[in-house]
Amino acid sequence: MKKFVSHTLTILLYTILISMVAIVAISKISGGESTFMGYQLKTVLSGSMEPTFQTGSIIALEPTDNGSQYKKGDIITFQKEQDVLVTHRITEVKGSGENVSYLTKGDNNDGADLEPVLAGNVVGEYTGFTIPYIGYVMDFANSKLGSLLLLVVPGLLLFGYGAFSIWREISSIEEKDEEKESAKAQ
C-alpha cells in the first residue's frame, strides 16, 4: 500500500509540474497570444457577454483574413483601439463588399456599442468553445509572479518529495544493516 501511495504521489507531482511548465511555456512563447490547433485562445476580461461566456473564461476564436464575411448574430472579436480587443455580437451589418461595418452589442449590455466596427478591425469569430475560469490561470501564468510560482513551487515540491524518498530509503537500509549487525552479535 505504501508503494502505491508513493507512486501515485510521484505521478501526481510530475503531472502538476509538467502541466505548469506547459501553461507557462505556451503563454510565454506565444507572448500571451495562445493558440491551439489554429484557433486563438482569448481571456474574457469583462461580463459584457454573460451568460454566453463568463468573466475569466477562455474562448476560442477562428482567426480571419476577411472581416467582411459575417452576418447578424455572429459573435466577433475586433480591435477597438491599440491593444484592446472586444468580443461582442453583431446586431446589424451595414454596407457591402470592402465597405462593410458592423453594429455590435454585448449580450449583457443595455445598449449597442457607440462606434461601428470596420471589417478590417475584425480579428476573428467566436467558435462556441469556452472553458470557464481558466483565463484567470492563464493571466496569472503570464505575470512574473505567476511564472515563478507555477514553475518553482511544483519543482520544490517534487525536489522535497525526492529528498524525502531518498532519506526514507537510506534510513530503511541503515535499519536493515543494524538488524543484521545485532543478529550477528547474538
* CA 91 vs CA 71, 76, 96, 102: distances in Å: 9, 11, 16, 7
DSSP H or E stretch at residue 14: helix 2-29
Q: Are 87 and 71 within 8 A, CB to CB?
A: no
d(CA 79, CA 94): 18
Phi-psi region of 57 (alpha: psi -120 to 50; beta: other; left: phi over 0): beta
**CB atoms near residue 44 (< 10 Å):** 21
Catalytic positions, written as ranges: 46
CB atoms inside a 10 Å sphere around CB 110: 6
